[in-house]
Amino acid sequence: MSKMNLQDCAQNWSKHSATRVVASTLGVLVGLAGIEHGILEALQGNVTPDGIWIDAIGPGQRFWENATETAITIIPNYFWTGILAIVIGLIVTIWATVFIERKYGARILFLLSIILWLVGGGFAPIFFSIFATLTATRINNPSKGWDTHFPIRIQILLFKLWPWTVLALVLTFWIGVEIAIFGYPLLWLFNADLTYGIQWILGFTTLGLMLVSILSALTYDIQHQPDSQQILASS
C-alpha cells in the first residue's frame, strides 16, 4: 500500500467518532470470537453433543487440563455448529466494521450476534453485543447531559483515557482467549489452578475495560461537540 493510501486510510478512520470506534470494536470482537469458537468446534468433527451446552475445545484440541470455552448450540453436530459459527462470525465482523452506522445497523448487529450465540459462537455475543448495540445507538449522538453525573475530574480522566482503554480492551480480551486455549505463558510460571484463576481475573478485567472504553468514548465525543469545550479548556 502506498504512502498516500495509508494517509487516506488514516484520514478516513479519524473521521469516525470515538463511540463508533468502540461499537465497531466490540462487534468485531464478537465476530472474531465466534470464528475462533467455530474453528475449534469444527475440528471435533461429526460428533453429536450431549446437549445444547458444549465445550468448543474438544479432547483433541485440549492443550492443558483447564482449557475450556463454554458455548451453546441448537445444531446437534459439532462440525456443522463450527461451520455456522465461522460463517455467522464473519458476517458479524463485516457488519460491525462497515455497516454499524446504518439506520438499523445496531439492531441487525444484535440479531446476528444472537444467531451466532445459538450456533456455538460462545458467550461473547451475549455480553459484548448488548453493549455494542447500546453504544452503536449513540453514534453521532452521545447524549450530552449524562456526563454531568460525573465529577469534573472523572470526566477529564475519561477524556484523556481515549483511545488507550479500547486498545487495552482488545489486548486483554485476546490474552484471555489465548490463555483459555493454550494456558501459556502462565503455565510456565504457575500451576493449572492458579492459571485458571488468573484467566477469570482477565475476564472481569475485560468487562471493566469495556465499560470504561464506552464511557471514555462518549466523553470524548461530547467534548468535541461545538458547544461543549469545558473539559478541554480545564485540562
The CA-to-CA distance between both ends of the chain, in Å, stands at: 38
Q: What pLDDT score does 138 carry? A: 80
Task: State pLDDT tens for residues 155-164.
Answer: 888 888 888 9
The residue range of the domain holding 147 is 3-234
More confident residue, 129 or 228: 129
More confident residue, 12 or 122: 122
Q: Residue 5: pLDDT above 70? A: no
Q: Residue 113: pLDDT above 90? A: yes
Spatial neighbors of 156 by CB under 8 A, at least 6 apart, are 231, 234, 235
Whole-number CA gyration radius for the chain: 20
Taking the C-alpha atoms of residue 41 and residue 82, their distance in angstroms, rounded to an integer, is: 5
Q: Residue 206: pLDDT above 50? A: yes
Q: Residue 7: pLDDT above 60? A: no
How many structural domains does the chain have? 1
Q: What pLDDT score does 13 carry? A: 40
Is residue 27 within 8 A of residue 132, CB to CB? The reply is: yes
Average pLDDT, the chain: 84
Q: What pLDDT score does 101 carry? A: 86
Helix/strand/coil for 70: strand
Task: State pLDDT tens for residues 65-91.
Answer: 888 888 999 999 999 999 999 999 999
- Name the nearest CA neighbour of 69 among 168, 186, 196: 196
pLDDT above 90: percentage of residues in the chain: 47
Q: Residue 56: pLDDT above 50? A: yes
Q: What pLDDT score does 229 carry? A: 52
- Name the nearest CA neighbour of 165 among 127, 197, 207, 123: 207
Taking each helix axis from N to C end, the angle separating 164-182 and 192-223, rounded to the nearest 10 degrees, works out to 160
**Which region among 58-72, 132-146, 164-178 has the lowest average model confidence (pLDDT)?**
132-146
